[in-house]
Amino acid sequence: MPASSDPTTDTLLAILRDTVVSLVRREGPDLSARQLAVFLTCYLQDGNHTVRGLAGDLHVSKPAITRALDRLGELELARRKVDPQDRRSVLVQRTLKGSALLRDLKHMMADAAAEAKKRAATAGDSPRKVANG
């Protein structure tokens, strides 16, 4: 069964597309979808994050989370630190560079949302212009 076209979903997809395009056009390396999911989870959800907790939240394996964190660490977007209360556990910490990326991502999404709104308004005007023209 083909999916119906929902204006809200179409707008959200346009925002996602434009945001991802902005991310890949930036200077520097790109993040995979998994790396971005780990990054956003760490930066948008309060509390301490661990490999085990992230794996559970995202429903992926601990090795997959470890690989994503390895990359985020290389890019200085997150770092790991041994939990002082439980030395067997490793906490994921935010970084200044990661906070800057989150701020940039918010601006990219706001720009994408404004563009999607503009396109929707233009598309909404088109039938009237044709009918009245």
Query: Residue 45 in contact with residue 101, Cβ under 8 Å?
Result: no
Number of domains in the chain: 1
80-95 residues labelled b (16+ CB within 10 A) or e (exposed):
beeeeeeeeebbbeeb
Q: Which of the pair, 18 or 119, is modelled with greater confidence?
A: 18
Please give the Cα distance from 100 to 77 (Å, whole number): 9
Please give the Cα distance from 19 to 124 (Å, whole number): 23
Tokens standing for residue 48: 């301490």
User: Residue 126 falls within a domain, yes or no?
Assistant: no
User: Residue 16 falls within a domain, yes or no?
Assistant: no
Q: Which of the pair, 120 or 111, is modelled with greater confidence?
A: 111
User: Residue 64 falls within a domain, yes or no?
Assistant: yes
pLDDT digits (tens, 9 = 90+) for 11-54: 899 999 999 999 999 988 889 999 999 999 999 999 899 999 99
In the prediction, which pLDDT does 106 show? Answer: 96
Going through the chain in order, the beta strands assigned E by DSSP cover: 49-50, 78-82, 90-94
Beta-sheet strand order (sheet of 49-50): 49-50, 90-94, 78-82
In the prediction, which pLDDT does 125 show? Answer: 60
In the prediction, which pLDDT does 13 show? Answer: 92
In the prediction, which pLDDT does 83 show? Answer: 85
User: Residue 21 falls within a domain, yes or no?
Assistant: no
* Domain housing 92: 31-118
- Residue 129 confidence class, pLDDT cut points 50, 70, 90: very low
Going through 40-133 in order, the beta strands assigned E by DSSP cover: 49-50, 78-82, 90-94
R_g over Cα of the chain? 19
Query: Residue 75 in contact with residue 97, Cβ under 8 Å?
Result: yes
Return the CATH number at 44: 1.10.10.10
pLDDT digits (tens, 9 = 90+) for 50-107: 999 999 999 999 999 999 999 999 999 999 999 888 888 889 999 999 999 999 999 9
User: Residue 19 falls within a domain, yes or no?
Assistant: no
